[in-house]
Structure 1
């Protein structure tokens, strides 16, 4: 099964109708940028884009102090058209979408009947098209599910030839304006003159540009002052903000209440949708079984924990799972981990054999016994693994 080309006559980007789930391995043109180093994981979620451009620490600092350009062109993008698109998507997802206005953007989930997260997507409504952007590893699965759920609804699923770039940092507006892509900061999604659209994101802007213009657009942004940044920098900043990625920081048991998606991708007062009962019950009780936390890792260790490996106590009891791992420009080695909520605050941990400690801001203690921990005590790091 393949994608079938469909011609357009209104100046919009060409689209390809979905007829299966096969896609060729992707290689971004930004890998030809100076000092680009591709991901070493051939089967990883960021295959096809740069891991870094020679200085991952400097790339992170650019996102904080000026502006960094992140290549997200490997992500999937699905366009949903037709008069029933919003009511149809509303019945299938965790988000209230029936009133999504022109230029609005949000996030949504598809849950299992038991409330476990199966798909996560960004949602943007512009020009009578609802765009769903997804993890590169989840696009085919989401398309397959949506295709099966069309039935008699008046909707059509296509894949636009648009690629995503993200610019983050305090100088984002100045730099993007200098390229002529946008005249002013955006607070809603707006069309781009050469095709595609822009939408606001935390600390910056997402640009969805025609795939054939991806390299030139990225070059214009870097010429205007944005610093090209790889997936290493993106991961480090994402860990800091506790933002999960589907399939990396989540597993088949994850429910929205355990991660930040409860606030960002779930509407607690909308009508019925698959998995709603679990979300509502746990939200009313206020105690999900696990919590996504930031782990500080022992910087003296000669390796980082592997994503998917276990988090254990000193006695060897498994209490969690490692997700994204990266070196942060200020905090050193850090990771996201899904940890049992019942874990007492301050428990010394091992992350795949590396000493670890939960960030004080993420501590959960159901039975507090003393003053709150206000700072991380790194002296505990070497106690466990040297026993």
Structure 2
């Protein structure tokens, strides 16, 4: 099914790229009166706003002829984000290498999917930033790369991002069905059913967003993406709390930082720590997705050059990418936490990389030997 879907999307992408006509030539002040529906209907250095062409403020184009530049701040921000993306990808591949060396990585597992999604998303974020950088410095004067590569890259980024975000709740459910008292056949059956539903939702939502991006329906994509992210917010909050209670029935009574004398044995202590990790990661992702939605809404509404020169798109796009990098750091480090037993055995630490600082609690060796609660789908024996 994946190969058929991939082939269909690739054909659609090639078709969308092939039909992109060259942009019209700049016609002086008359260009500002050109009506448009899509960005490619405007001359280079211009975009479509409110049905009319205007200077592309995000790339720093200003003036009556859109030839003046105010892109110094944008160049600094793009260089910083691109450097961060490269470092983030280094962390992703380092984690992948260490997990494979410790025999703790399986591509078909939920945690393996999360890690591969992090690698994919970071790669396409770096590609997207490179496109923006090329246009900003004038290396793409006809906007050929901007018009053909950017929608495809953005679409692939969305697929990787949604795949990773939907896979984390599956990791949580797998932890629950491995925990003592919750590993019944009925719970395993429910886990499989919910997993199929989440996979179907991921495929449908990412495919629709991808297709709309290739068709140039940016406003519709933004609205749909916000709805998907709101659904993720609800999923993370509801699922994390229900699963935490299943792992540790008195979790909310104990609170996030109970004293040692509250636990009767190591299994109860380990169960509380596993539940705490789910809640902490859920809360951090909840805050990031909320910020993600704000930046996405800003990204979808570009203010005219003459009123606020590029400030809104500047903050929207760069904030959007920065939040993506933060999410990937948290997701990657949660995968590392789930495999800490094998990582420590192989001489590697759990560690926290750039943009991935999350206050999750490492489980002690004693606790790990007494229960399987903390084992994620990566760390299988």
**TM-score bracket relative to the smaller structure:** under 0.3
TM-score (norm 2): 0.24
Higher helix share: 2
Q: TM-score, structure 1 length as denominator?
A: 0.24
Q: Kindly indicate which of the two structures has a greater share of residues assigned to strand.
A: 1
